[in-house]
Amino acid sequence: MNQTADDAPRDLHHPLILSSRVIGAPVFDREGNRLGHVDDLSIEKASGKTVYAIMSFGGFLGIGAKLHPVPWPLLDYNLERGGYTVPLTAEILKDAPNYDAAEVRMLGGPDHRVYGETIYGYYGTYGAVPYW
């Protein structure tokens, strides 16, 4: 059976999603206020498990935005909004661990547990538990 992209089934309820559809997806608080968007994903090499959604938050037109590694289990996909919902608010994210682009690349480096302890230490209040 040969299907083109235009006539492929559009089942939005399936359990898998391509990373290309996650990157750029909006992120909302529970009340529906847009907080930012998913800028990247941090994936554990050995297991393939997504550990963090790197969320871009703040700034104007991408300038001055901060990158927040949010533990992946805190994100819930919301079909109606076409994006993710988190149990966080803009005020919570202002104080959350955030990094510049160079530091984000270090999340999987030799000091990944130091970064992880900081990130999960902050988000543990909201239900996130360390992935290790």
The answer on pLDDT for 47 being more than 50 is yes
Assign 2 a pLDDT band (cuts: 50, 70, 90).
Answer: very low
pTM, two decimal places:
0.84
List, for residues 85-111, the tens digit of each pLDDT value: 999 999 999 999 999 888 888 888 888
Assign 129 a pLDDT band (cuts: 50, 70, 90).
Answer: very high
Q: Please state, in angstroms and rounded to a whole number, the distance separating the CA atoms of residues 60 and 75.
A: 23
In 3D space, the residue among 25, 21, 72 whose CA is nearest the CA of residue 51 turns out to be 72
Ramachandran bin of 54, using left for φ above 0, alpha for ψ from -120 to 50, beta for the remaining angles: beta
Burial of 81 (0-12, 13-18, 19+ CB in 10 A): middle
Q: Where are the alpha helices (DSSP H) in 24-68?
A: none
